[in-house]
Amino acid sequence: MEEKAKTRREFIQSGTRMVMGMAVGGLAGLALGRSTTDEWVWQIDPFECTQCGRCATECMLNPSAVKCIHAFDLCGYCDLCGGYFKPDANELSTAAENQLCPAAAIERKFIEEPYFEYIIHEDLCIGCGKCVEGCTAFGNGSLHLQIMHHICLNCNECSIARVCPSDAIKRVKAENAYKVKGSWTNIA
Amino acid sequence: MAFILLLFCVSVSGQQQRFPKPEFESGYVQPDPVTPEPRAQAMEYLDVLVLLVVLSMVSYMALKKRSRQGILWLSVFTMLYFGFYRNGCICSVGAVQNVTLSFFDSTYAVSVTALLFFLMPLIFTLFFGRTFCAGACPLGAIQDLVILKPISLPRWLRKILGIFPAIYLGLAVLYAATGTEFIICRYDPFIGIFRMDAPFHMIVLGVSFLLMGMFVARPYCRFICPYAVLLNLFSRFSKWHLSITPSRCIRCKLCTTSCPFDAIDVPTDEKATTSSRAGVRNFMLYAALLPLWIAAGGFIGSEAHVWLSRAHPDVYLAELLIEHPELKDDPENIDIQTFLESGKTMDTLVEEARLKREEFYVGSWILGGFIGLVIGLTLLNQVVYRRKEDYTPNRGECFSCGRCMDYCPVDKK
């Protein structure tokens, strides 16, 4: 009697185990068909970004992994830079009160008359997008926000993407991890 | 017609540069934008390999070598590598959502590494019990290492709290399938500790879990972890499992207090057992109640679908705009302002929200039914009579941590 009960229990157990093994196998097969050998990373589509400022505050990291990137190809090297100066700037000088950037992360360098180069210091940038807003509104839009992948921890779900009002942050394949304006154009 | 022409002009001028790129005479060389590459893909495969090795070693330590010491050091390694070095991402617990999303979102394909992170612990559990929990899960490891003076919880409380992981798993699958969000990752209490950086409330949550974990051992694993629902189920039918004694149980009771998780089943009290006829009757009754539980759960779930669907941004925005149209003039509301500027019509938004809510309606029926099933099965399990002669680990709840093994006085023969 004892032995019988034991073998019955063992039979049920091994039977269920086989069913479960097959279930996992089936699930694995289905999922494999839907899988990719590529890794996903998060990136901002600069053409959809509305510079709402949430990138600076919603990232798990502080300061944010989102930084301003400068597509020099598109830059007009303007003296009056909409991304560098406040709209009501007293004069076109590098004085702090004239700068739009709250972290003074943009360096203005004289190249030749009348052109200036603007360089982003990534370690100072907080990803607030104020310069992007100015550059997009008054200039060529060469300044734009990108997620920097040497800082980004590649969370399973990006906490900025969750609250991005224009759904500009999407998963992209890791081999094309950036959407730098100029080298990458909006398909739509 | 004029409108289309105007639109065309605008779009063309939008693509042209307002200020053409200057031609420099001073020999200025234009720098390239800095775009550092993400972590190399080979490293992601290394993570899979590390998980495989750790899983194998923990299983070996638990079942063959019978060394608590070995498991302890492996869990220290797991906490340091998957936790503090890899910052807790990707983990097997959260990978449930990636797999779910890949089934429901045609634009998303789960990466092979995430899929392997999801599958490997399940396969190992099917063969060796929950050795993943013992030493290969960073969330489990950090809790296991802070256990100080565990208290024993009454059985009824453990059973009631034990239903929550199933609810959490159901919700996580629902929200991942509808493309709403990954709640397991968002409310992971330990990720902030691993990263030493998180919003304040998450740090508070993580620290309180660890403080509670000193006395209620592994609270997240036992009463919250959604992945544990699967592992618990798989472990019940595992081929092999850690045993307390290396040869034969002599019922000395020395191991009874060794388990911080109350996961050791004691031998059946022969005197207290109910007659087998009453037992069968109870079993039949509870089994017959199962469909009722599923139906009731499904009904309650479907009633909650409106509330559940509000977590989705489209549904939330549509509802907000319908109920408070005056918010359209609020410049502070970024979501509404972005929507208004996007050129999307209200009708499209409402239609999208309605479709999303329909998905939630179906999903909440299934979610409710699943929760009902789990409640019904938990009750059914209470009346199933299992004759036990020895002190054995409860296969579902045992984490295979191996603490009990050191308490057994029996020599290996």
B56-60, B226-230, B267-271: the lowest-pLDDT one:
B267-271
Q: Do A149 and B36 touch (CB under 8 A)?
A: yes
Q: Which residues contact B406 (CB under 8 A, 6 or more apart)?
A: B68, B258
Of B21, B37, B237, the CB nearest to A76: B21
Residue B147 pLDDT more than 50?
Answer: yes
- Based on the domain organization, do A157 and A103 belong to the same domain? yes
Contact A187/B at CB under 8 A:
no
pLDDT tens sequence across B319-375:
999 999 999 999 999 999 999 998 899 999 999 999 999 999 999 999 999 999 999
Give A90→chain B minimum CA distance, Å.
Answer: 23
Chain A residue with Cα closest to B176: A157
Of B94, B119, B197, the CB nearest to A61: B197
Domain assignment present for residue A186? The answer is no
- Based on the domain organization, do A69 and A155 belong to the same domain? yes
Q: Do B119 and A24 touch (CB under 8 A)?
A: yes
pLDDT tens sequence across B374-383:
999 999 998 8
pLDDT tens sequence across A62-114:
899 999 999 998 999 999 999 999 988 888 888 888 999 999 999 999 998 88
% of residues, chain B, pLDDT over 90: 78
Residue B240 pLDDT more than 80?
Answer: yes
Domain assignment present for residue A162? The answer is yes
- Based on the domain organization, do A64 and A154 belong to the same domain? yes
pLDDT number for residue B16: 57
Mutate to test the interface with B, among A39, A124, A142 (most CBs of B within 10 A): A39
- Based on the domain organization, do A27 and A95 belong to the same domain? no
Contact A178/B at CB under 8 A:
yes
Helix pair angle (B227-236, B92-104), 10° resolution: 100
- Based on the domain organization, do A17 and A99 belong to the same domain? no
pLDDT tens sequence across A13-37:
899 999 999 999 999 999 999 888 8
Which of B225, B260, B245 lies closest to B132, judged by CA? Answer: B225
Contact B158/A at CB under 8 A:
no
Rg (CA), chain B: 27
- Based on the domain organization, do A22 and A115 belong to the same domain? no
Residue B4 pLDDT more than 60?
Answer: no
Domain segments of chain B: what residues? 47-267+391-407, 276-382
Q: Are A66 and A149 in contact (CB under 8 A)?
A: no
A44 to chain B: which residues are within 8 Å by CB? none
- Based on the domain organization, do A20 and A57 belong to the same domain? no
Give A97→chain B minimum CA distance, Å.
Answer: 25
- Based on the domain organization, do A121 and A171 belong to the same domain? yes
- Based on the domain organization, do A131 and A152 belong to the same domain? yes
CA angle, B248 then B254 then B257, to 5°:
125
CB within 8 Å of chain B, chain A residues 121-160: 122, 139-140, 146, 148-150, 152-157, 159
Of A31, A62, A111, the CB nearest to B99: A31
A173-187, B51-65, B215-229: the lowest-pLDDT one:
A173-187
- Based on the domain organization, do A112 and A165 belong to the same domain? yes
pLDDT tens sequence across A113-170:
889 999 999 999 999 999 999 999 989 999 999 999 999 999 999 999 999 999 999 9
Contact B332/A at CB under 8 A:
no
Range of A158's domain?
A: 40-176
Q: Do B115 and A35 touch (CB under 8 A)?
A: yes
Domain assignment present for residue A188? The answer is no
Give B164→chain A minimum CA distance, Å.
Answer: 23
pLDDT number for residue B9: 39
pLDDT number for residue B18: 84
Task: Answer whether 0.90 is exceeded by the pTM.
Answer: yes
Domain assignment present for residue A184? The answer is no
Q: If pLDDT is split at 50, 70 and 90, which confidence band does B1 have?
A: very low
- Based on the domain organization, do A164 and A118 belong to the same domain? yes
pLDDT tens sequence across B273-328:
667 788 888 899 999 999 999 999 999 999 999 999 999 999 999 999 999 999 99
| Residue positions counted in chain A | 188
- Based on the domain organization, do A24 and A89 belong to the same domain? no
Contact B379/A at CB under 8 A:
no
A138-147, A169-178, B59-68, B383-392: the lowest-pLDDT one:
B383-392
Domain assignment present for residue A182? The answer is no
- Residue keyed to tokens 């059946």: B268
pLDDT tens sequence across B70-103:
999 999 999 999 999 999 888 999 999 999 999 9
**In total, how many domains does chain A have?**
2
Look up the ipTM and state it: 0.89
State the distance between the two ends of chain B, measured CA to CA, in whole angstroms: 93
Contact B4/A at CB under 8 A:
no
Of B20, B36, B122, the CB nearest to A24: B122
